[in-house]
Homo-oligomer: A and B are copies of this chain.
Amino acid sequence: MHRVKVRVVEDALDANNTIAAANRADFDREGVTVLNLMSAPGAGKTTLLERALPGLGVRPGVLEGDVAGSLDADRLADKHIPVTQLNTDQGFGGECHLDANMVRSALPSLPLSDIDLLIIENVGNLVCPAEFRVGEDARVMVSSVTEGEDKPLKYPLMFRACELVIVNKIDLLEHLDFDMEKFDYHLDGVHPGVPRMLVSARTGEGIHEVRDWLVALTSRAGAPA
């Protein structure tokens, strides 16, 4: 009798990671770089995209994750950015994050062949989105200074799970008690040396740095291995 010994790897048991890998393969086939963008509600992800994406040089697309509504998708469509809405409110109160399967369900409605950089705007939440890979190349989180400098200590996994922290709403700093040194100290405590950029998506301050980063990510990830 022919026997094949299959080694069951822990990751293979995790349906989410399996589906994330399938998404990844589809993105690779189309040469699309994918970014998972996460933050608390109201930190300014959509405003950041409105500022950063037009005229970027690479062709952007956005997958909008929301519990309900299509407000953010409408805002981006107004800027002529290809956008697909993904609502999570099928359950009782709605899913508080995107997972690989939800993203997979949206793939057929994404014009992948016309996109170089796909931004997946996750549901506003500092806990669960960090736990679910969706097939992305990089994870970026937006932290608004209005949320206070203690957030890295209270939501350590989220701040650990990203490759870049965008500190937003710095135009409000002079009206807040926010202590940037303390924030940096707390952030280095949970994710030593993670790159961070100070921006105001509202005024445009610092946005060029984000744009440069996105373009560099796209050429790096899109380059043949």
A60 within 8 A of B: no
Residue-wise, chain A 78-121 has the 8 Å CB interface mask toward B (1 for contact) of 00000000000000111110000000000000000000000000
User: Which of B68, B151, B169 touches A41 (beta carbons < 8 Å)?
Assistant: B151
Residue of B nearest to A130 (CB): B93
22 CB-based A-B contacts, threshold 8 Å = A40-B40, A41-B151, A41-B155, A42-B144, A42-B147, A42-B148, A67-B127, A69-B150, A69-B153, A71-B150, A71-B154, A92-B157, A93-B128, A93-B130, A93-B131, A123-B127, A124-B154, A124-B155, A125-B126, A144-B146, A146-B169, A172-B176
Please measure, in the bound complex, the distance between the C-alpha atom of A128 and the C-alpha atom of B68, giving whole angstroms. Answer: 14
Does A156 reach chain B (CB closer than 8 Å)? yes
Contacting pair B68 A154 (CB below 8 A): yes
Q: Does the CB pair B156–A68 fall under 8 Å?
A: yes
Distance A155 CA – B128 CA, assembled complex (angstroms): 16
Q: So how many copies of this chain end up in the complex?
A: 2
Cβ of A66 under 8 Å from chain B: yes
Measured between alpha carbons, how far is A195 from B199 in the docked complex, in Å?
Answer: 35
The answer to whether B66 touches A157, judged by C-beta atoms less than 8 angstroms apart, is: no
**Nearest CB of B to A102, in Å:** 14
Please, which residue of chain B has its CB at the minimum distance from the CB of A123?
Answer: B127
**Which residue numbers of A lie inside 8 Å of B, CB to CB?**
40-42, 66-69, 71, 92-96, 123-128, 130-131, 144, 146-148, 150-151, 153-158, 169, 171-172, 175-177, 202
A130 to chain B, nearest CB (A): 6
Asked whether, in the complex, the Cβ of B67 is within 8 Å of the Cβ of A154, the reply is yes
A146 touches B42 (CB 8 A): yes
Interchain CA distance A92-B129 in the complex, whole Å: 12
A96 CA to B128 CA, complexed, in Å: 7
Q: How many Å from the CB of A150 to the closest CB on chain B? A: 5
A40-B40, A96-B127, A125-B127 given; 5 more Cβ-contact pairs under 8 Å: A67-B157, A93-B131, A94-B127, A123-B127, A146-B172
